A and B are shown apart, each in its own frame.
Chain A
Amino acid sequence: MLYFAGIDIGSLCTKSLILNEDDVIIGTSIKRSGAAYRGAGEEALNAALKNANLKSENLNYIVSTGYGRARIPIADEQVTEITCHARGSSFIFPEARAVIDIGGQDSKVIEINNKGRVLKFVMNDKCAAGTGRFLEVMAGSLDMDLEQMSELAKQSKKEVEISSMCTVFAESEVISLFAGGTEKAEIASGIYRAIARRVTGLASHIVSGKKVTMTGGVAKSNGIVWALSKKLETELLVADDPQIIGALGAALIAKAKFNNL
Protein backbone atom coordinates (compact mmCIF):
# COMPACT_ATOMS: atom_id res chain seq x y z
CA MET A 1 0.00 0.00 0.00
CA LEU A 2 1.22 3.53 -0.81
CA TYR A 3 0.86 6.36 1.69
CA PHE A 4 0.92 10.12 1.26
CA ALA A 5 1.11 12.95 3.76
CA GLY A 6 0.01 16.55 3.74
CA ILE A 7 1.32 19.01 6.33
CA ASP A 8 -0.39 22.40 6.59
CA ILE A 9 1.61 24.80 8.76
CA GLY A 10 -0.64 27.76 9.48
CA SER A 11 0.07 30.78 11.62
CA LEU A 12 -1.99 29.39 14.51
CA CYS A 13 -2.23 25.62 13.97
CA THR A 14 -0.34 22.90 12.14
CA LYS A 15 -2.41 20.16 10.59
CA SER A 16 -1.21 16.84 9.22
CA LEU A 17 -3.09 14.15 7.32
CA ILE A 18 -2.16 10.70 5.99
CA LEU A 19 -3.90 9.35 2.91
CA ASN A 20 -3.59 5.86 1.46
CA GLU A 21 -3.51 5.03 -2.24
CA ASP A 22 -7.29 4.42 -2.19
CA ASP A 23 -7.84 8.02 -1.07
CA VAL A 24 -8.86 6.95 2.42
CA ILE A 25 -7.86 9.28 5.25
CA ILE A 26 -6.14 7.04 7.80
CA GLY A 27 -4.67 9.56 10.21
CA THR A 28 -4.91 13.24 11.12
CA SER A 29 -3.56 15.56 13.76
CA ILE A 30 -3.83 19.22 14.70
CA LYS A 31 -1.24 20.99 16.88
CA ARG A 32 -0.58 24.61 17.82
CA SER A 33 2.11 26.02 15.52
CA GLY A 34 3.85 28.07 18.17
CA ALA A 35 7.08 29.79 17.22
CA ALA A 36 8.94 26.72 15.89
CA TYR A 37 7.25 25.78 12.62
CA ARG A 38 9.62 22.94 11.83
CA GLY A 39 9.07 21.34 15.21
CA ALA A 40 5.31 21.78 14.91
CA GLY A 41 5.32 20.23 11.43
CA GLU A 42 7.30 17.20 12.57
CA GLU A 43 5.19 16.83 15.71
CA ALA A 44 1.94 16.99 13.73
CA LEU A 45 3.22 14.51 11.15
CA ASN A 46 4.39 12.07 13.83
CA ALA A 47 1.02 12.31 15.58
CA ALA A 48 -0.84 11.63 12.32
CA LEU A 49 1.48 8.70 11.57
CA LYS A 50 0.87 7.27 15.03
CA ASN A 51 -2.82 7.69 14.44
CA ALA A 52 -2.47 5.73 11.19
CA ASN A 53 -0.16 3.10 12.73
CA LEU A 54 2.57 4.01 10.30
CA LYS A 55 6.16 5.16 10.43
CA SER A 56 7.68 7.98 8.39
CA GLU A 57 9.52 5.48 6.18
CA ASN A 58 6.11 4.18 5.04
CA LEU A 59 5.35 7.51 3.39
CA ASN A 60 5.85 7.69 -0.35
CA TYR A 61 5.49 11.43 -0.83
CA ILE A 62 4.97 14.46 1.42
CA VAL A 63 3.67 17.89 0.44
CA SER A 64 3.84 20.81 2.84
CA THR A 65 1.61 23.87 2.62
CA GLY A 66 0.65 26.95 4.65
CA TYR A 67 2.80 29.89 5.70
CA GLY A 68 5.43 27.60 7.20
CA ARG A 69 5.60 25.29 4.17
CA ALA A 70 9.22 26.10 3.44
CA ARG A 71 10.28 25.11 6.96
CA ILE A 72 9.68 21.35 6.61
CA PRO A 73 12.83 19.65 5.28
CA ILE A 74 11.14 16.26 5.22
CA ALA A 75 8.59 17.45 2.61
CA ASP A 76 9.24 16.43 -0.98
CA GLU A 77 7.47 19.49 -2.31
CA GLN A 78 5.79 22.71 -1.22
CA VAL A 79 2.46 23.92 -2.58
CA THR A 80 0.52 27.02 -1.53
CA GLU A 81 -2.48 26.63 0.72
CA ILE A 82 -4.62 28.21 -2.00
CA THR A 83 -4.08 25.26 -4.32
CA CYS A 84 -4.32 22.76 -1.42
CA HIS A 85 -7.63 24.11 -0.07
CA ALA A 86 -9.03 24.03 -3.60
CA ARG A 87 -8.03 20.42 -4.10
CA GLY A 88 -9.15 19.26 -0.65
CA SER A 89 -12.50 21.04 -0.92
CA SER A 90 -13.25 19.54 -4.30
CA PHE A 91 -12.48 16.06 -2.95
CA ILE A 92 -15.00 16.42 -0.11
CA PHE A 93 -17.59 18.47 -2.03
CA PRO A 94 -17.22 17.78 -5.78
CA GLU A 95 -20.11 20.16 -6.47
CA ALA A 96 -18.32 23.12 -4.82
CA ARG A 97 -17.10 25.84 -7.16
CA ALA A 98 -15.91 28.32 -4.55
CA VAL A 99 -14.00 28.02 -1.28
CA ILE A 100 -13.91 30.47 1.60
CA ASP A 101 -10.95 29.76 3.85
CA ILE A 102 -10.65 31.89 6.95
CA GLY A 103 -7.30 31.19 8.48
CA GLY A 104 -5.41 32.57 11.43
CA GLN A 105 -3.84 35.50 9.63
CA ASP A 106 -5.66 35.81 6.33
CA SER A 107 -8.87 34.99 4.55
CA LYS A 108 -9.08 33.71 1.01
CA VAL A 109 -11.86 33.23 -1.47
CA ILE A 110 -11.01 30.77 -4.23
CA GLU A 111 -12.92 29.95 -7.40
CA ILE A 112 -12.38 26.34 -8.49
CA ASN A 113 -13.36 24.16 -11.42
CA ASN A 114 -14.80 20.65 -11.38
CA LYS A 115 -11.32 19.18 -10.94
CA GLY A 116 -10.53 21.31 -7.92
CA ARG A 117 -8.16 23.54 -9.85
CA VAL A 118 -7.83 27.18 -8.88
CA LEU A 119 -9.39 29.54 -11.43
CA LYS A 120 -8.88 32.67 -9.40
CA PHE A 121 -8.50 33.81 -5.83
CA VAL A 122 -8.62 36.94 -3.71
CA MET A 123 -7.15 37.44 -0.27
CA ASN A 124 -7.62 40.01 2.45
CA ASP A 125 -4.97 42.68 2.62
CA LYS A 126 -2.40 42.92 5.37
CA CYS A 127 -5.04 43.94 7.89
CA ALA A 128 -6.20 41.26 10.37
CA ALA A 129 -9.88 42.17 9.93
CA GLY A 130 -11.80 39.14 8.69
CA THR A 131 -9.35 36.55 10.02
CA GLY A 132 -9.20 33.97 12.78
CA ARG A 133 -6.95 36.30 14.75
CA PHE A 134 -9.71 38.93 14.69
CA LEU A 135 -12.17 36.43 16.19
CA GLU A 136 -9.66 35.32 18.83
CA VAL A 137 -9.05 38.91 19.93
CA MET A 138 -12.79 39.63 20.03
CA ALA A 139 -13.49 36.47 22.06
CA GLY A 140 -10.70 37.48 24.41
CA SER A 141 -12.24 40.90 24.92
CA LEU A 142 -15.51 39.15 25.90
CA ASP A 143 -13.49 36.90 28.23
CA MET A 144 -14.54 33.64 26.56
CA ASP A 145 -13.27 31.15 24.01
CA LEU A 146 -14.40 30.90 20.38
CA GLU A 147 -16.85 28.08 21.03
CA GLN A 148 -18.52 29.97 23.87
CA MET A 149 -18.74 33.11 21.74
CA SER A 150 -20.30 31.14 18.90
CA GLU A 151 -22.96 29.64 21.18
CA LEU A 152 -23.66 32.98 22.80
CA ALA A 153 -24.18 34.75 19.46
CA LYS A 154 -27.15 32.48 18.74
CA GLN A 155 -28.96 33.87 21.80
CA SER A 156 -28.82 37.45 20.53
CA LYS A 157 -32.20 39.13 20.18
CA LYS A 158 -30.92 42.47 18.93
CA GLU A 159 -28.41 43.52 16.30
CA VAL A 160 -25.55 45.75 17.37
CA GLU A 161 -23.06 47.15 14.93
CA ILE A 162 -19.29 46.61 15.22
CA SER A 163 -18.24 49.08 12.57
CA SER A 164 -14.46 49.27 12.84
CA MET A 165 -12.43 47.19 10.39
CA CYS A 166 -9.32 47.45 12.54
CA THR A 167 -8.90 44.62 15.06
CA VAL A 168 -7.58 46.90 17.78
CA PHE A 169 -10.26 49.58 17.25
CA ALA A 170 -12.96 46.89 17.04
CA GLU A 171 -11.74 45.56 20.38
CA SER A 172 -12.10 49.08 21.85
CA GLU A 173 -15.58 49.23 20.35
CA VAL A 174 -16.51 45.91 21.97
CA ILE A 175 -15.20 47.03 25.37
CA SER A 176 -17.08 50.30 25.04
CA LEU A 177 -20.35 48.50 24.12
CA PHE A 178 -19.90 46.15 27.04
CA ALA A 179 -19.20 49.06 29.39
CA GLY A 180 -22.34 50.76 28.06
CA GLY A 181 -24.48 47.81 29.13
CA THR A 182 -24.93 45.98 25.81
CA GLU A 183 -25.50 42.25 26.30
CA LYS A 184 -22.56 39.97 25.49
CA ALA A 185 -24.78 37.89 23.19
CA GLU A 186 -25.60 40.94 21.09
CA ILE A 187 -21.94 41.93 20.92
CA ALA A 188 -20.95 38.38 19.91
CA SER A 189 -23.54 38.39 17.16
CA GLY A 190 -22.30 41.81 16.02
CA ILE A 191 -18.74 40.46 15.85
CA TYR A 192 -19.77 37.60 13.55
CA ARG A 193 -21.77 39.92 11.34
CA ALA A 194 -18.77 42.28 11.12
CA ILE A 195 -16.49 39.50 9.94
CA ALA A 196 -19.20 38.26 7.54
CA ARG A 197 -19.47 41.75 6.02
CA ARG A 198 -15.74 41.91 5.57
CA VAL A 199 -15.48 38.47 3.94
CA THR A 200 -18.56 39.09 1.78
CA GLY A 201 -16.91 42.20 0.37
CA LEU A 202 -14.03 40.01 -0.69
CA ALA A 203 -16.13 37.02 -1.75
CA SER A 204 -19.31 38.16 -3.41
CA HIS A 205 -18.02 38.53 -6.97
CA ILE A 206 -16.50 35.05 -6.83
CA VAL A 207 -19.14 33.06 -4.93
CA SER A 208 -22.24 34.50 -6.56
CA GLY A 209 -24.48 31.69 -7.86
CA LYS A 210 -22.03 28.94 -6.87
CA LYS A 211 -21.94 26.12 -4.35
CA VAL A 212 -19.62 27.40 -1.67
CA THR A 213 -17.64 25.47 0.90
CA MET A 214 -15.95 26.97 3.93
CA THR A 215 -12.64 25.61 5.19
CA GLY A 216 -10.11 26.42 7.90
CA GLY A 217 -10.33 26.33 11.65
CA VAL A 218 -12.71 29.29 11.80
CA ALA A 219 -15.32 27.22 9.92
CA LYS A 220 -15.67 25.10 13.06
CA SER A 221 -17.43 28.06 14.58
CA ASN A 222 -21.19 27.90 14.03
CA GLY A 223 -21.38 31.64 14.56
CA ILE A 224 -19.36 32.59 11.52
CA VAL A 225 -20.95 29.92 9.29
CA TRP A 226 -24.37 31.22 10.30
CA ALA A 227 -23.44 34.88 9.75
CA LEU A 228 -21.73 34.24 6.42
CA SER A 229 -24.52 32.01 5.09
CA LYS A 230 -27.00 34.73 5.93
CA LYS A 231 -24.96 37.51 4.38
CA LEU A 232 -24.13 35.52 1.22
CA GLU A 233 -27.69 34.18 1.03
CA THR A 234 -26.44 30.65 0.47
CA GLU A 235 -25.97 27.60 2.64
CA LEU A 236 -22.28 26.98 3.11
CA LEU A 237 -20.96 23.42 2.76
CA VAL A 238 -18.77 22.61 5.75
CA ALA A 239 -16.78 19.37 6.13
CA ASP A 240 -16.81 17.39 9.37
CA ASP A 241 -13.38 18.79 10.10
CA PRO A 242 -12.90 21.88 7.93
CA GLN A 243 -9.54 22.57 9.56
CA ILE A 244 -7.76 19.66 7.84
CA ILE A 245 -8.90 20.47 4.28
CA GLY A 246 -5.60 22.19 3.41
CA ALA A 247 -3.62 19.17 4.63
CA LEU A 248 -6.00 16.88 2.75
CA GLY A 249 -5.39 18.84 -0.44
CA ALA A 250 -1.65 18.63 0.17
CA ALA A 251 -1.88 14.82 0.60
CA LEU A 252 -3.97 14.51 -2.59
CA ILE A 253 -1.39 16.58 -4.46
CA ALA A 254 1.37 14.41 -2.95
CA LYS A 255 -0.36 11.35 -4.42
CA ALA A 256 -0.73 13.00 -7.83
CA LYS A 257 2.91 14.12 -7.81
CA PHE A 258 4.09 10.66 -6.81
CA ASN A 259 2.07 9.05 -9.59
CA ASN A 260 3.62 11.46 -12.11
CA LEU A 261 7.19 10.72 -11.02
Chain B
Amino acid sequence: MTATLTAPDALRADDGRLVLEVAGVVDEVPGVRTLALRRPGGGLLPAHPAGSHVVLDCGDRRNAYSLTGDGSAADEYRVSVLLCPGGGGGSAFVHRLAVGDVVTASRPRSAFAPVSTARHHLLIAGGIGITPMLSHARAAVRWKRSFELLYGHRPGAGAYLDELRGLCGDRLAAHGSTAEMLAAVRAALADQPLGTHVYVCGPAPLIAFVEETAAELGWPGERVHAERFSAADLDPGEPFTARLARSGTRVPVPSGTSLLVALERAGVAVPNLCRQGVCGECRVPVRSGRPLHRDLYLSETERAAGDSVMCCVSRSVDDELELDL
Protein backbone atom coordinates (compact mmCIF):
# COMPACT_ATOMS: atom_id res chain seq x y z
CA MET B 1 0.00 0.00 0.00
CA THR B 2 2.93 2.29 0.63
CA ALA B 3 4.03 2.08 -2.98
CA THR B 4 0.77 3.29 -4.44
CA LEU B 5 0.57 6.22 -2.05
CA THR B 6 4.05 7.66 -2.41
CA ALA B 7 3.46 8.72 -6.02
CA PRO B 8 3.11 12.54 -5.98
CA ASP B 9 -0.08 12.41 -8.06
CA ALA B 10 -1.71 10.17 -5.52
CA LEU B 11 -0.76 12.54 -2.74
CA ARG B 12 -2.37 15.44 -4.54
CA ALA B 13 -5.42 13.51 -5.62
CA ASP B 14 -7.53 14.69 -2.72
CA ASP B 15 -6.81 18.26 -1.70
CA GLY B 16 -6.57 19.00 1.97
CA ARG B 17 -6.14 15.42 3.11
CA LEU B 18 -3.21 14.68 5.36
CA VAL B 19 -0.48 12.27 4.38
CA LEU B 20 0.66 10.49 7.52
CA GLU B 21 3.31 7.95 8.33
CA VAL B 22 2.80 5.27 10.94
CA ALA B 23 5.42 6.16 13.54
CA GLY B 24 4.43 3.68 16.21
CA VAL B 25 2.16 0.72 16.81
CA VAL B 26 1.10 -0.26 20.33
CA ASP B 27 -1.36 -2.94 21.37
CA GLU B 28 -3.14 -1.45 24.38
CA VAL B 29 -5.07 -4.59 25.25
CA PRO B 30 -5.77 -7.63 23.05
CA GLY B 31 -7.71 -6.47 19.97
CA VAL B 32 -7.10 -2.74 20.46
CA ARG B 33 -4.25 -1.30 18.44
CA THR B 34 -2.99 2.25 18.77
CA LEU B 35 -1.30 3.99 15.86
CA ALA B 36 0.94 7.00 16.26
CA LEU B 37 0.72 9.02 13.04
CA ARG B 38 3.16 11.76 12.00
CA ARG B 39 3.94 13.82 8.93
CA PRO B 40 6.57 11.90 6.95
CA GLY B 41 9.00 14.83 7.25
CA GLY B 42 7.93 15.73 10.77
CA GLY B 43 6.21 18.97 11.78
CA LEU B 44 3.09 20.08 13.56
CA LEU B 45 -0.31 18.65 12.71
CA PRO B 46 -3.49 20.77 12.87
CA ALA B 47 -4.87 21.40 16.36
CA HIS B 48 -8.48 20.40 16.99
CA PRO B 49 -11.24 20.57 19.61
CA ALA B 50 -11.37 17.63 22.03
CA GLY B 51 -13.52 14.77 20.75
CA SER B 52 -12.55 15.26 17.09
CA HIS B 53 -11.97 12.45 14.61
CA VAL B 54 -10.15 11.91 11.36
CA VAL B 55 -11.53 9.92 8.45
CA LEU B 56 -8.82 7.44 7.58
CA ASP B 57 -8.51 5.82 4.16
CA CYS B 58 -8.62 2.09 4.90
CA GLY B 59 -8.09 0.44 1.53
CA ASP B 60 -11.40 0.60 -0.32
CA ARG B 61 -13.28 2.28 2.53
CA ARG B 62 -13.02 5.25 4.85
CA ASN B 63 -13.53 4.99 8.59
CA ALA B 64 -13.78 7.69 11.24
CA TYR B 65 -11.45 7.29 14.22
CA SER B 66 -11.29 9.54 17.28
CA LEU B 67 -8.08 11.40 18.04
CA THR B 68 -7.07 10.72 21.63
CA GLY B 69 -4.89 13.80 22.25
CA ASP B 70 -5.99 16.95 24.06
CA GLY B 71 -6.23 18.79 20.73
CA SER B 72 -3.40 21.28 21.04
CA ALA B 73 -1.06 21.36 18.07
CA ALA B 74 1.34 18.42 18.25
CA ASP B 75 3.54 16.48 15.87
CA GLU B 76 1.62 13.28 16.40
CA TYR B 77 -1.98 12.02 16.22
CA ARG B 78 -2.98 8.83 17.99
CA VAL B 79 -5.95 6.66 17.14
CA SER B 80 -6.93 3.40 18.82
CA VAL B 81 -8.82 0.85 16.79
CA LEU B 82 -10.71 -2.20 17.99
CA LEU B 83 -10.38 -5.14 15.61
CA CYS B 84 -13.88 -6.12 14.42
CA PRO B 85 -13.47 -9.46 12.59
CA GLY B 86 -17.03 -9.32 11.25
CA GLY B 87 -16.84 -5.66 10.25
CA GLY B 88 -16.37 -4.00 6.90
CA GLY B 89 -12.61 -4.47 6.81
CA GLY B 90 -11.51 -1.02 8.01
CA SER B 91 -10.28 -2.19 11.40
CA ALA B 92 -8.52 -5.19 9.87
CA PHE B 93 -6.74 -2.79 7.50
CA VAL B 94 -5.55 -0.70 10.44
CA HIS B 95 -4.36 -3.79 12.31
CA ARG B 96 -2.22 -4.78 9.29
CA LEU B 97 -0.38 -1.43 9.26
CA ALA B 98 3.25 -1.38 10.37
CA VAL B 99 5.71 1.34 11.30
CA GLY B 100 6.76 3.19 8.14
CA ASP B 101 3.51 2.65 6.23
CA VAL B 102 1.92 5.79 4.79
CA VAL B 103 -1.80 6.48 5.01
CA THR B 104 -4.07 9.37 4.09
CA ALA B 105 -6.63 10.92 6.38
CA SER B 106 -8.94 13.92 6.52
CA ARG B 107 -8.06 16.89 8.63
CA PRO B 108 -9.61 16.64 12.10
CA ARG B 109 -13.38 16.97 12.09
CA SER B 110 -15.21 18.13 15.21
CA ALA B 111 -18.64 16.68 15.92
CA PHE B 112 -18.35 15.92 19.64
CA ALA B 113 -16.70 18.93 21.24
CA PRO B 114 -16.98 19.91 24.90
CA VAL B 115 -19.51 22.70 25.52
CA SER B 116 -17.48 25.74 26.48
CA THR B 117 -20.09 27.13 28.86
CA ALA B 118 -20.55 23.89 30.82
CA ARG B 119 -20.00 24.05 34.58
CA HIS B 120 -19.11 20.37 34.82
CA HIS B 121 -18.46 17.62 32.26
CA LEU B 122 -19.77 14.09 32.91
CA LEU B 123 -17.90 11.74 30.56
CA ILE B 124 -19.26 8.22 29.99
CA ALA B 125 -17.37 5.63 27.95
CA GLY B 126 -18.11 2.01 27.10
CA GLY B 127 -15.35 -0.19 25.64
CA ILE B 128 -13.51 1.35 22.71
CA GLY B 129 -15.78 4.39 23.17
CA ILE B 130 -13.05 5.50 25.57
CA THR B 131 -11.09 7.06 22.69
CA PRO B 132 -12.94 10.41 22.36
CA MET B 133 -13.43 10.52 26.13
CA LEU B 134 -9.67 10.21 26.60
CA SER B 135 -9.33 13.31 24.43
CA HIS B 136 -12.00 15.08 26.50
CA ALA B 137 -10.34 14.08 29.79
CA ARG B 138 -6.91 15.24 28.62
CA ALA B 139 -8.31 18.58 27.44
CA ALA B 140 -10.26 18.98 30.70
CA VAL B 141 -7.09 18.41 32.73
CA ARG B 142 -5.10 20.76 30.53
CA TRP B 143 -7.67 23.54 30.72
CA LYS B 144 -8.63 22.82 34.35
CA ARG B 145 -12.26 22.04 33.57
CA SER B 146 -14.38 20.25 36.13
CA PHE B 147 -15.08 16.69 34.97
CA GLU B 148 -15.57 13.06 35.95
CA LEU B 149 -15.22 9.93 33.81
CA LEU B 150 -17.21 6.72 34.07
CA TYR B 151 -15.58 3.92 32.09
CA GLY B 152 -17.18 0.54 31.54
CA HIS B 153 -14.92 -2.14 30.09
CA ARG B 154 -14.58 -5.89 29.90
CA PRO B 155 -12.70 -7.34 32.91
CA GLY B 156 -8.99 -7.06 32.24
CA ALA B 157 -9.55 -5.36 28.88
CA GLY B 158 -9.74 -1.70 29.70
CA ALA B 159 -7.69 0.19 27.14
CA TYR B 160 -5.76 3.12 28.65
CA LEU B 161 -6.74 2.19 32.23
CA ASP B 162 -3.34 2.90 33.80
CA GLU B 163 -2.94 6.12 31.89
CA LEU B 164 -6.45 7.25 32.84
CA ARG B 165 -5.82 6.55 36.51
CA GLY B 166 -2.77 8.77 36.41
CA LEU B 167 -4.56 11.46 34.42
CA CYS B 168 -7.88 11.56 36.26
CA GLY B 169 -7.11 10.30 39.78
CA ASP B 170 -10.33 10.01 41.75
CA ARG B 171 -12.29 11.60 38.89
CA LEU B 172 -12.17 8.18 37.17
CA ALA B 173 -14.55 5.36 38.08
CA ALA B 174 -13.84 2.22 36.05
CA HIS B 175 -16.27 -0.70 36.07
CA GLY B 176 -15.63 -4.20 34.78
CA SER B 177 -19.26 -5.31 34.96
CA THR B 178 -22.13 -3.94 32.91
CA ALA B 179 -24.59 -3.98 35.83
CA GLU B 180 -22.17 -2.00 37.99
CA MET B 181 -21.48 0.44 35.18
CA LEU B 182 -25.16 1.11 34.49
CA ALA B 183 -25.87 1.60 38.20
CA ALA B 184 -22.98 4.09 38.39
CA VAL B 185 -24.28 5.92 35.30
CA ARG B 186 -27.75 6.20 36.80
CA ALA B 187 -26.38 7.47 40.11
CA ALA B 188 -24.22 10.05 38.34
CA LEU B 189 -27.10 11.28 36.18
CA ALA B 190 -29.35 11.55 39.24
CA ASP B 191 -27.32 14.28 40.92
CA GLN B 192 -25.26 16.78 38.95
CA PRO B 193 -24.95 20.54 39.33
CA LEU B 194 -27.12 22.52 36.93
CA GLY B 195 -24.87 23.47 34.05
CA THR B 196 -23.44 19.95 33.65
CA HIS B 197 -23.22 18.44 30.18
CA VAL B 198 -23.01 14.68 29.69
CA TYR B 199 -21.05 13.04 26.86
CA VAL B 200 -21.32 9.36 26.00
CA CYS B 201 -19.49 7.15 23.52
CA GLY B 202 -19.82 3.41 23.38
CA PRO B 203 -22.02 0.57 22.19
CA ALA B 204 -25.55 1.53 21.09
CA PRO B 205 -27.23 0.01 24.20
CA LEU B 206 -25.08 2.15 26.52
CA ILE B 207 -25.91 5.31 24.55
CA ALA B 208 -29.61 4.43 24.63
CA PHE B 209 -29.41 3.81 28.39
CA VAL B 210 -27.78 7.18 29.00
CA GLU B 211 -30.25 9.04 26.79
CA GLU B 212 -33.29 7.35 28.31
CA THR B 213 -32.11 7.65 31.92
CA ALA B 214 -31.13 11.30 31.43
CA ALA B 215 -34.54 12.13 29.96
CA GLU B 216 -36.26 10.32 32.81
CA LEU B 217 -34.21 12.33 35.33
CA GLY B 218 -35.16 15.66 33.78
CA TRP B 219 -32.09 16.34 31.60
CA PRO B 220 -32.97 18.46 28.57
CA GLY B 221 -31.65 16.89 25.37
CA GLU B 222 -29.38 19.92 24.91
CA ARG B 223 -27.25 18.73 27.84
CA VAL B 224 -26.79 15.20 26.43
CA HIS B 225 -24.19 14.50 23.73
CA ALA B 226 -23.59 11.13 22.11
CA GLU B 227 -20.97 9.88 19.67
CA ARG B 228 -22.01 6.73 17.84
CA PHE B 229 -19.74 4.28 16.07
CA SER B 230 -22.08 3.96 13.09
CA ALA B 231 -25.71 3.81 12.14
CA ALA B 232 -27.34 0.55 13.15
CA ASP B 233 -27.60 -2.14 10.53
CA LEU B 234 -30.20 -0.86 8.15
CA ASP B 235 -32.74 -2.81 6.16
CA PRO B 236 -32.47 -2.63 2.34
CA GLY B 237 -35.51 -0.33 2.13
CA GLU B 238 -38.27 0.13 -0.45
CA PRO B 239 -37.39 1.13 -4.01
CA PHE B 240 -38.09 4.73 -5.04
CA THR B 241 -37.15 7.25 -7.71
CA ALA B 242 -34.95 10.30 -7.24
CA ARG B 243 -35.86 13.16 -9.56
CA LEU B 244 -33.04 15.64 -10.12
CA ALA B 245 -34.74 19.01 -10.40
CA ARG B 246 -31.98 20.84 -12.26
CA SER B 247 -31.33 18.28 -14.99
CA GLY B 248 -34.76 16.66 -15.04
CA THR B 249 -33.07 13.25 -14.75
CA ARG B 250 -34.88 10.43 -13.00
CA VAL B 251 -32.67 8.02 -11.06
CA PRO B 252 -34.23 4.75 -9.90
CA VAL B 253 -33.07 3.62 -6.44
CA PRO B 254 -33.73 -0.10 -6.07
CA SER B 255 -34.11 -1.86 -2.72
CA GLY B 256 -30.67 -2.66 -1.33
CA THR B 257 -28.97 0.22 -3.17
CA SER B 258 -28.36 3.48 -1.36
CA LEU B 259 -29.42 6.80 -2.83
CA LEU B 260 -25.74 7.82 -2.81
CA VAL B 261 -24.69 4.78 -4.84
CA ALA B 262 -27.59 5.26 -7.26
CA LEU B 263 -26.58 8.91 -7.78
CA GLU B 264 -22.95 7.95 -8.32
CA ARG B 265 -23.94 5.32 -10.89
CA ALA B 266 -25.98 7.99 -12.67
CA GLY B 267 -22.83 10.12 -12.90
CA VAL B 268 -23.79 12.59 -10.16
CA ALA B 269 -20.85 13.35 -7.90
CA VAL B 270 -21.94 13.90 -4.28
CA PRO B 271 -19.29 14.77 -1.68
CA ASN B 272 -19.17 12.01 0.91
CA LEU B 273 -16.91 10.50 3.54
CA CYS B 274 -18.19 7.92 5.99
CA ARG B 275 -21.06 6.48 3.93
CA GLN B 276 -22.75 5.37 7.13
CA GLY B 277 -24.91 8.31 8.17
CA VAL B 278 -22.49 9.83 10.68
CA CYS B 279 -20.27 12.48 9.15
CA GLY B 280 -22.77 14.81 7.50
CA GLU B 281 -20.80 15.23 4.29
CA CYS B 282 -23.34 13.85 1.79
CA ARG B 283 -26.27 16.13 2.69
CA VAL B 284 -28.44 16.77 -0.36
CA PRO B 285 -31.21 19.41 -0.58
CA VAL B 286 -34.75 18.08 -1.05
CA ARG B 287 -37.37 20.05 -3.02
CA SER B 288 -40.36 17.77 -2.61
CA GLY B 289 -41.27 14.35 -1.32
CA ARG B 290 -40.81 13.13 2.25
CA PRO B 291 -37.34 11.82 3.16
CA LEU B 292 -37.08 8.65 5.25
CA HIS B 293 -34.30 9.73 7.60
CA ARG B 294 -32.02 6.92 8.79
CA ASP B 295 -28.86 8.90 9.56
CA LEU B 296 -27.40 9.95 12.91
CA TYR B 297 -26.40 13.41 11.75
CA LEU B 298 -29.48 15.61 11.28
CA SER B 299 -31.16 17.09 14.36
CA GLU B 300 -34.84 16.49 15.10
CA THR B 301 -35.61 20.01 13.80
CA GLU B 302 -33.70 19.41 10.59
CA ARG B 303 -35.45 16.09 10.08
CA ALA B 304 -38.84 17.65 10.60
CA ALA B 305 -38.04 20.40 8.09
CA GLY B 306 -37.66 17.67 5.47
CA ASP B 307 -35.62 19.89 3.17
CA SER B 308 -32.47 17.82 3.12
CA VAL B 309 -31.44 14.20 3.26
CA MET B 310 -28.23 12.30 4.06
CA CYS B 311 -28.16 10.26 0.88
CA CYS B 312 -25.73 7.55 2.05
CA VAL B 313 -28.29 5.85 4.30
CA SER B 314 -31.60 7.70 4.08
CA ARG B 315 -34.32 6.95 1.58
CA SER B 316 -37.79 8.19 0.66
CA VAL B 317 -41.22 7.71 2.22
CA ASP B 318 -42.89 8.70 -1.07
CA ASP B 319 -42.40 6.93 -4.40
CA GLU B 320 -40.54 9.95 -5.67
CA LEU B 321 -38.07 12.29 -3.98
CA GLU B 322 -37.19 15.50 -5.81
CA LEU B 323 -33.62 16.64 -5.14
CA ASP B 324 -32.14 20.07 -5.83
CA LEU B 325 -29.36 18.61 -7.96
Partners in one complex: no
Q: Which B residues form the contact surface with A (CB < 8 A)?
A: none
